[in-house]
Homo-oligomer: A and B are copies of this chain.
Amino acid sequence: MTAYTATALKSELNERGWRLTPQRETILQIFQDLPKGNHLSAEDLHNLLQAEGHAISLSTIYRTLKLMARMGILRELELAEGHKHYEINQPSPHHHHHLICVKCNKTIEFKNDAILKTGTRTAQKEGYHLLDCQLMIHAICPACQRSLLPM
C-alpha cells in the first residue's frame, strides 16, 4: 500500500555502498506510475523513457532492471519467449499471479493470498531471504484452442 519512495531506495542503496542516481530514480518512478496490469520489457522501458524525454542508455536500463529485481523492488516475469518483463513488486493486497497463454501470450492477472503465504513460509523455513513469489500458469487460451495453426 505504502509507495516505495526514492528516499527509501537511496537508503537501501547506500547501506550497501551503492548510489542513488537520477536514472535509477526515474526508472523507479516509471514503474510506480505504471497502470496496473502493465509489464515492461527492457526495450519498452527504453522507448517509454525516450518518449518522456529521458535519454537513459540501454546498458543502464538492463543494469537497473537486474539490480532492482535482485533487491526485490521489481519482479522479473517470463510473459513471452525471448525476453523478460518487469513490474513493481507489491505486497498483499496488490500482490498477484499470472495465467499466460503460451501461444499468443495473452495474460490474466489473479490474486491469491494463500500462495504468498506459502512462499513466505517456505522461504523462511529454509532460511532464504524472500525476494519474489510468483505462480505462473502456462496454458492455452480459448481463442488459441480454436485456432488451427501448428504449435
CB neighbours of A130 from chain B (8 A)? 137-139
Closest residue on chain B to residue A84 by CB atoms: B78
Q: Annotate A108-146 by CB proximity to B: 1 below 8 A, 0 otherwise.
A: 101010110011001100111111111111111110010
Distance in Å from the Cβ of A124 to the closest Cβ of chain B? Answer: 10
Q: Is A67 an interface residue (CB 8 A)?
A: yes
- In the complex the two chains form, is B102's CB within 8 Å of A127's CB? no
Q: Is A54 an interface residue (CB 8 A)?
A: no
CA distance in complex: A115, B103 (Å): 23
CB neighbours of A94 from chain B (8 A)? none
CB neighbours of A99 from chain B (8 A)? 122-123, 126, 128
